[in-house]
Structure 1
Amino acid sequence: MDSNLLRPKDYDSDIADLVRREIGDSSLDIAALPRAMDIAKWDARDLIRTMMPVLTSFSGMLSDLLALYERIDATRTHKDNLHISYEFETGDAIDDQLAPFRERVQRTQTVLRRIDAFQFDHEYAWKSPLAERADKLHHHAHDAAVNLLGLESVAAASEWPFASEIPAPLIENPSLVHLVTRLRQVIVAALDKFSELGPTVGTMRPSHDQTDDSPDLRILAGDLWWLTEIGIMSLVPDLFAELSADESAKLVQAQLRWLERFWVASTITAEQRIEELADVLRLPYWGKRPDLYSAWVAAAIDAALVPGRLSFDVTDGVLAFPFRATLLARIDTANGAVELWTEKRFQATGLKGKGRVNHIQPDYVLINGAAPNKVIGVIEAKQYLNSKNHGDTAHDYAHNLSDAEVFIVAHGPLGQRTLNKVAPADRKRVSLHPQVRPGSRSATKTFADRLVALLPTPFEQQPGPQAEVYVPGPSEGVHTIWARRAGPAAELQGQRELLGGTVALRWMTAVHDLDLHLIEAETGDLVYHGNLTSAHAELGGDRFYGGPEVALFHPTGKAISIEVHLFSSDVPNVSNAAPVVTITTLRGTMTLLPRAGAGSRASIWHVATIEPDGGIVLGESIESRE
């Protein structure tokens, strides 16, 4: 701070917030932070460890942008000479080229590998000496944590946001301050890791819904290990109350050794760590990372869609992110071409956001390529600065762009009342996406799912089984595609009647996840999001927020049962999600709705059975005549 490498009053306010959270006092003034760190007996290593979430995110943003730039460069004739230009404000620009940018990214990655990294081992995490003493004394750590956090009960912990503040317990014994500091450090680092899988225990994505390379994290979070350790931290004075000085010293050292094992030891000295970290803090991008986050969201958009669907606009070898309306890329979708624009301005009325008079200017705008004035989506990206204005932004965009899906994408948390500022009639078009950042798999996938639903992949781009398929509606084209996949023999024999048809599931967009299941009745073979292809059917992939989920079915001489499963907690039962299933064969189309009281269980709607001869026997359904 003295050397001006860290600027907590400016672009490093996020680091100041992390320090406050680590210390346990969210009201600390910037000027009081150094004194507070001294009282907590911090050293340089403690500050660096506290900064790790920001450093890791920064490195991840650079790495993801590098991957995007290299993909774009690979499509050009003159490779490795791509010029990148960022204009964060009018006249405030950073220009770079691919080769030196790659060197900076690699340097940042090297520095982070040489700094302490947080690690988990499920079995080791439960071997806390203080937890063992608490058990011996019959202290209830969960109850202590519930009191400290102000929860109603242990059960309420499943909905406690991992990003919440943790009050600091009162520690009067100076010899225990350092111990509590190190324990709190591990707890906060663990909560940050847990948040990558979901904002709370109750909202963590199930392992089959993503590539789960962190089973220990999932188990520890679900078993409320973190709540135990928060309770232990609160109980520290009681756990040492009856010990002699010698016994206390031994227990402190044992606990510190246990805590230190959560960190991969650095291979360099403290002085070297500080010097190498200073190199990262001097990068021109470091001070611009709230704005760099907006550029990173372009990489997140690209990653969400099938590789290559975004065709970026490179003019004279320059990929530009200017602070003015610019066509950044084009996207092929099942509904036609879409243009991705940056900083496009629109006339606006009824604005709540400060600083705007009569216009709005979203970070990204998705426009129907066939109708230049039709905006189908806007994406606003915010890192930390001005985070209180998200509700105003959501209101202004939804109010003035009446046909657009509004995505509010934030690096950190979003306030619970953000949507309250949006008119009730507009809220179904607004989605909030907190914690979307490198490494935050759950939040990033939720954003990607919603984006894919808005920009569905053209069916013809899907080469075969296991691909994500989107069918916009029943058509002869479906059967042509089935014939192509069945092979020339089927076409020559004129077996079009055996090529089946389609089943499409749609539901209300406010509900996150319903799943279409097709079960071959005799064998029990199941096609669903976890098994996209079988002999009797092929599902086009998992869809969210209204779908559609579409399957092609191929009769095999056996009956096929169709079910819809509720897989989210947005509504109490599947019928409340307003599902609609459309079954199409060469004989025609049937649209089905759940009948009153449908569902042998609240989470399953038994829709219909497709008989071997193509007939449809209704289950818990009625046919829509609309």
Structure 2
Amino acid sequence: MNEEKIIDDVVELWKIICTYGAIDEKYYDKDLIKELKIALGGKHNESIETILSTNNISLEKFISEFFKVTKSFSEMLNGLLEMFEEANAYTSDHNINLEFNFNTSKCFSFDINHFKSMKEQVQKIEKEFVYLYISELVSWGLIDPFRKVTNWQSKITDIKAINWLKEYDENKWPKSLLECPQTGNNELDEYIVKVWNIWDIFLNECKRVFDNPNDAKAKRAENEEWPFYYLLLDKWPYIFVDNLFKFTYYFDILNEAEKLALSKKVIESLNEIFNYSSITKDKHKVWEKTIKEFLKLPVWKHRYELYSVWVCTEIMGALDKYNIEYNVIDGKLSFSFGGSHIASIVNSHPELQIWAELKTEWEKGETKNRKSRGKHIQPDYSLVVLPIEDVRSTLVVVECKQYKKPSRKNFSEALEDYADGRPESKVILVNYGKIPSKLIEKIESENKSRMLAFGKFIPRSTEIAEFKNQIITTIDKYYNSPGKTIISNYMLDTSEELSIILEWNEKPRDLDLSLIIKDVNDSMEISYKNSGKKEQFPFCEYKVDVRNGFGPEEIIISKWLNKDYTIIVHNFSKEVDLQASSARITLRQGIKEYQIDIANNSENGEVWEVGIIRGSTGELVQLNNIVKTFNED
């Protein structure tokens, strides 16, 4: 029996990845290759082979960086599996078949259990290989270069970091998505990103092993041998975030000469840590079979096609406050080039449906001379009300792009044609890579106001929140008109305490959170004017009046009454309009959260009507309106 081959040469490993992983360096994978070159310390005009050879890159280092730059791929699998499991509830055999037929030459399918096993295999390989690299680098030494140079004036102003630390303090794995802070010094920022990636991998490993930060203490006996146990016990992830964000604040207030000296000092300290690591070129071996099995997985081979399906998961995420019913037929959920009815929103009138590749006639097809479209248009996704044949029934179009060679012309034509062919629709284009600058601004069309484009649209992208906001704002606006109804399925548990949390930007300095509690007989208000107590009627308490921006302000409902609870936000200081505040309300019950972002297309006014909670049932009725003054009636 032949012994399985061991790869001990990093250049050989890269050649195997290129061959078996179908890496397209010139087109589809161009951005991935660019990120990998930077991560390996190379230049854009050098080949990967040259960088690996001249920089003496270890196998562990290369594998770690490769899986980091392809991390969005495995994160897409998480989103896809979540959507498939939701769809799985609509079939009796609980193992639906997923069919992807993007065109006649690229048709593939698998059942949900097969998909789960592939996802687990991908993440197992990632964990094993990346582990080799971070195991020797995660230490207090990664924090010291930032901690030792700041002073008592250092503070954190980033609201996401503040919220992240607050959630960690509450013994929760934070749901807030943090972005790596930057200093503006390019060389220093490269090192900060490098350290941040190590922290991110470490945090994900902690979350894999433990249910919450304090779980490590509770399960000491069974986990003390885990290599990062004591670092987690000493709050290493928390202290890292706290010190890094304080450092970037401190760096920002220095003069240019001080910044230059400090960046040099920090880079030298970090280099000592990376150089001191005992990782050597031959310390670990890589089994060729393991790598090839990963690269042959259908979910990797068809990663470009799966991207457009992942975008569908973000569409569904935007609609998650409604009751989504997937269109599973004969145990199959289909994504077909010929047109597929993916799902419907229950309790919507007229019914809202989500379609993939819905084809409709296009009157201007011939005059526009678009050879690829002809007399019809067929966007990737359509959010459409009945009757679906009427082009004016489409509310939102989402087009996914992964051109081999993206161009302004391709993007512009897609936006123009879909906006023209679906005359009442918001048209959203998303791209895996970058979008040309001022793309929509340079389009000459009367439909420009209905077009949006999002580049680098991948998991964890900052664009995802606005993408979802645009979809839900469009849907809510349509159903708020006379004769149309759509019922939110978000229900709060009236047997549990509820925290209503308001957060916003630095300005306006003073937003005020209020809760109007009302029935047919009386009305009362909980706010900074009347803070109430959790133990006394009406069993609500206002916590803190924040007057210097950011928040959070909080109202707690400890015991529910058979009344309506209306959530209101007042712009007290008025330095900027409410729309510019980026205000959001979080409804929190235990580990369950629901977030409402302030609408971007509202009228100017001093009051944000957030929504009404029915105390009798827990039903949330979203208003998301900005008005001049609040009228209880």
TM-score of the pair, normalised by structure 2: 0.57
Spell out, residue by residue over 1:182-222, the C-alpha distance to the aligned partner (whole angstroms, 9 max, x if none).
x957635737999xxxxxxxxxxxxxxxxxx9865586357
Alignment deviations for residues 332-360 of structure 1 (CA, whole Å, 9 cap, x no partner): 36554211111123425586989545543
CA apart distance, 1:371: 5.7
**Quick check: 1:521–1:561 contact (8 Å CA) kept in 2?**
no
Question: How far does residue 420 in structure 1 lie from its aligned partner after superposition?
Answer: 2.0
AA of the residue aligned to 2:70: L
Contact residue 347 and residue 486 of structure 2 kept, 8 A: yes
- How far off its partner does 1:408 sit? 2.4
Mapped partners of 1:21, 1:55: distance in 2: 14
The answer to whether the Cα contact below 8 Å between 1:304 and 1:449 also exists between their aligned partners in 2 is: yes
Is 1:2 aligned to residue 15 of structure 2? yes
Q: Name 1:254's counterpart in structure 2.
A: 272
- Is 1:44 paired with 2:64? no
User: Any conservation in 1 of the 2:416–2:445 contact (CA below 8 Å)?
Assistant: no
SS class of match (2:285): helix
Show CA shifts across 1:257-298 (max 9, x none): 57x59xxx99x9642366533321111221321210111122
Aligned partner of 2:421 in structure 1 is: 400
**1:14-163 residue pairs with structure 2 within 5 A?**
14-22=31-39, 27-28=44-45, 32-80=47-95, 82-116=96-130, 124-128=141-145
One-letter code of the match for 2:306?
L
1:341 aligns with 2:355: yes
Structure 2 residue aligned with 1:154: none
Structure 1 residue aligned with 2:244: 220
Would you say the 8 A contact 1:310–1:329 is kept in 2?
yes
Match of residue 320 from structure 2: 306
Residues 86, 125 of structure 1: CA spacing in aligned structure 2 closer, same or farther, 3 A cutoff?
A: same
2-side partners of 1:50 and 1:384: how far apart? Answer: 25
Q: Label 1:433 to 1:256 Cα distance change in 2 as closer, same or farther (>3 A).
A: same
Amino acid at match of 1:578: E
Alignment of 1:187-266 (within 5 A): 187-188=193-194, 190=196, 216-217=240-241, 220=244, 223-224=247-248, 254-256=272-274
Letter in structure 1 aligned against 2:24: P
Structure 1 residues 404 and 576: alpha-carbon distance in aligned structure 2, compared to 1, 3 A threshold: closer
1:378 and 2:397 matched = yes
Within 5 Å, give how 1:279-298 maps onto structure 2. 279-298=293-312
1:452 aligns to 2:472 (yes or no): yes
Whole-angstrom distance in 2 between the partners of 1:236 and 1:41: 28
- The structural deviation recorded for 1:417 is 1.9
State the identity as a percent: 16
Whole-angstrom distance in 2 between the partners of 1:536 and 1:609: 26
Q: Which amino acid aligns with 2:415?
A: A
Q: Structure 2: where are the runs of 5+ without partners?
A: 1-13, 151-178, 201-235, 477-484, 501-516, 533-540, 544-550, 583-598, 613-624
The aligned counterpart of 2:520 is: 497
What's the offset of the Cα at 1:375? 0.7
Shift of 1:561: 8.1
Match of 1:461 in 2: 489
Residues 55, 577 of structure 1: alpha-carbon distance in 2 compared, 3 angstrom cutoff: same
Question: Could you tell me how far apart the structure 2 residues matched to 1:103 and 1:465 are?
Answer: 35
After the TM superposition, which residues 537-552 of structure 1 pair with which residues of structure 2 at under 5 Å, given as runs?
none
Asked if structure 2 preserves the Cα contact closer than 8 Å seen for 1:526 and 1:534, the reply is no
Residue 318 (str. 1) matches residue 318 (str. 2): no
* Structure 1 residues 327 and 222: alpha-carbon distance in aligned structure 2, compared to 1, 3 A threshold: farther
Q: Deviation at 1:226?
A: 12
Matched residues in 2 for 1:252 and 1:461: separation?
Answer: 50
CA contact 1:334–1:455 (8 Å) conserved in 2: no
CA deviations over 1:508-565 (Å, ceiling 9, x no partner): xxxxxxxxx9847444766999758759999xxxxxxxxxxxx9557xxxxx986247
Query: C-alpha distance in 2, partners of 1:575/1:343?
Result: 29
Relative to structure 1, is the Cα distance of residues 26 and 257 closer, same or farther in structure 2, using a 3 angstrom cutoff?
closer
Conserved 8 A contact 1:352-1:393: no
